[in-house]
A and B are shown apart, each in its own frame.
Chain A
């Protein structure tokens, strides 16, 4: 099924000790927004890292765009057309804004026109091209991280809590940007704590608890459920 962007099948894995992921499965097919919610420590970030080969997978398989990428090197996964914005440390602090974007476009050599499109999506970055990323505000940094990831023109974008630690006004702004990204034909798989706001803009939602997918449904159906908060808290 090569039109599936990402297929995660019964993945087990973790950081050396006991497995954190205990049989997680999910699928992203085509340019849709899929939101993962779940309690702290459920393994959401670990799942994202495992897709990018940064966490050892001990069982199950992950494939993307028709390639098996289980335990693949991260740079080769990027080459396959996936991009990833980690939850923390998602920009290169000593590089300038412009250089961060260059690094995002590392695989594409130089594509000035595309970089201009990114600056058009995130206009606040355009004023700060020569500023070091380490000196940006939290919101700008998050924008830069997304811009960096979009530079390789991915088919699928993984976002780990893009709105964490942002002011409420910025949360909506950021989530709207993610809608724009989808409109470019990019699939988005994102972990989000602001479940309601995220699901409102998503196509599907996934509830992850203790290393497994507990529930999966259309975003609208999930939003409509009165027991969403309990699901979210892992009750």
Chain B
């Protein structure tokens, strides 16, 4: 492998890492607040990607303009799903939520297929010409994905750090009872958790669709690397999920020069299991 090939793979890894991070943050935050592994997260992303498709085809918007529509729509859908289903299981054992979200994953996936059909779509047809810098090929779409992801993550960081609600979310994932005692209406925080998780999920879905093609299994297929990102970063810690996403993305891409690319998802899986066994709190554990 030449140094150029290596750097090229790193670039691809950063792109998929950004997408994993967007999903992984949602998984991590939802886990922190609601204490369950949200198995429908991938399909929620797929749903967001299709919402953007609807906006693009019906309103003739560019992808970047369709993105906020998809984010708001998916946030609303996530809140609605929580209100109709998950909310009823807050007092139940956590496994009930696991099973329920597995069912919701199926519902979302089938709904996407019912509405848009089982076929493949792309947002914009035509070939974009990559920029070439020092023999490295960088696609405009990839730049768009990475830049937008950085913008979204910075906004998310500012929200968590400086807003009252952001602090309440962090407080609640530290200790829900103490948050309640401090006067936090935890159900309201839960609503915002879904709003943010859903919006970031939609962004991840749109970016993956932009990089590949839409189909009903689009983001179910990356559920494993996203969970791997959240777990590697220490589940419940959204910043960890960002680092975890990049790590998983880059390692997955690098692995393709040693093993059959068909086994890429297995690479994420192996890393995840290794971390679970070696350091269940995540390898990027901060100072709590």
The answer to whether A and B touch directly, with their CB atoms under 8 angstroms apart, is yes
Q: B178 to chain A: which residues have CB within 8 Å?
A: 86, 89-92
**B74 → A minimal CB distance (Å):** 28
Is B168 in the interface zone, CB < 8 Å from A? yes
> Do A78 and B182 have beta carbons less than 8 Å apart?
yes
Number of contact residues on B: which range applies? Answer: 20 to 34
Say yes or no: A152-B183 contact (C-beta < 8 A), given A102-B167, A135-B287: yes
Shortest Cβ distance from B84 into chain A, in angstroms? 22
A52 partner residues in chain B, CB cutoff 8 A? 181
B171 within 8 A of A: yes
Closest residue of B by beta carbon distance from A77: B181
Neighbour of B170 across the interface among A74, A86, A95, A109, CB < 8 A: A95
Chain B, residues 277-288, CB within 8 Å of chain A (1/0): the string is 000000000111
The residues of A that contact B185 with a CB separation of less than 8 Å are 75
Knowing A75-B185, A99-B167 are in contact, say whether A92-B175 is a contact too (CB < 8 A): yes
Given contacts A95-B167, A95-B171, contact A75 B186 (CB under 8 A): yes
* Bound CA span A155–B10, Å: 59
Q: Mark A134-176, 1 if CB is under 8 A from B, else 0.
A: 1100000000000010001000000000000000000000000
B287 touches A92 (CB 8 A): no
B-contact 0/1 string along A77-94, CB 8 Å cutoff? 011000110100111111
Of residues 95 through 113 on chain A, the ones whose CB sits less than 8 Å from some CB of chain B are 95, 99, 102-104, 106-107, 109-110
Q: Mark B165-178, 1 if CB is under 8 A from A, else 0.
A: 00110110011011
Contact A89 B175 (CB under 8 A): yes
The interface residues of chain B, by DSSP majority, are classed as helix
Which residues on A sit within 8 Å (CB–CB) of B276? none
A132 to B288 Cα, complex, angstroms: 7
**How many angstroms from the CA of A109 to the CA of B164 in the assembled complex?**
8
CB proximity of B85 to chain A, nearest CB, Å: 22
Among residues of B, the one whose C-beta sits closest to the C-beta of A133 is B174
A106 interface neighbour in B168, B170, B175, B177, Cβ under 8 Å: B168
- Chain A contacts of B186 at CB under 8 A? 75
Instruction: Return A102 CB to nearest CB of chain B, in Å.
Output: 6
With A103-B171, A109-B164 already in contact, the answer to whether A93 and B288 are too (CB < 8 A) is: yes
B168, B171, B178, B182: residue with the most chain A Cβ atoms closer than 10 Å: B182
Say if the beta carbon of A73 comes within 8 Å of chain B: yes
Q: With A92-B171, A92-B174 given, is the CB distance from A79 to B183 under 8 Å? A: yes
Question: A54: CB under 8 A from chain B?
Answer: yes
Is B55 interfacial (CB 8 A cutoff)?
no
A94 touching B177 by the CB < 8 A rule?
Answer: no
Q: A75-B186, A95-B167 are in contact. Are A86 and B181 (CB under 8 A)?
A: yes
Residues of A within 8 A of B182 (CB): 75, 78, 103-104, 106-107, 148, 152
Q: Which of A83, A94, A135, A152 has the most CB of B within 10 A?
A: A94
Residues in B neighbouring A109, C-beta threshold 8 A: 164
Q: Report how far A221 CA is from B27 CA in the complex, Å.
A: 58
- From B167, B177, B183, B286, residue with most partner A Cβ within 10 Å: B183
When chains A and B are docked, how far (Å) is the Cα of A79 from the Cα of B180? 11
Task: Report the Cα distance A103→B170, complex, angstroms.
Answer: 10
Residues of A near B286 (CB, < 8 A) are 94
Alpha-carbon gap, A10 to B159, bound state (A): 45
| In the complex, residue of chain B having the shortest beta-carbon distance to the beta carbon of A89 | B175
Within 8 A of A (CB), among B75-117: none
Which residues of chain A are within 8 angstroms of B177 by Cβ–Cβ distance?
Answer: 54, 74, 86, 89
Q: Would you mind naming 7 contact pairs between A and B with Cβ atoms under 8 Å apart?
A: A52-B181, A79-B183, A86-B178, A89-B178, A92-B175, A95-B174, A99-B171
Q: Interface of B with A (CB < 8 Å)?
A: 164, 167-168, 170-171, 174-175, 177-186, 286-288
Name the 7 nearest CB pairs between A and B, nearest first: A78-B183, A74-B180, A107-B183, A92-B174, A92-B171, A94-B288, A103-B171
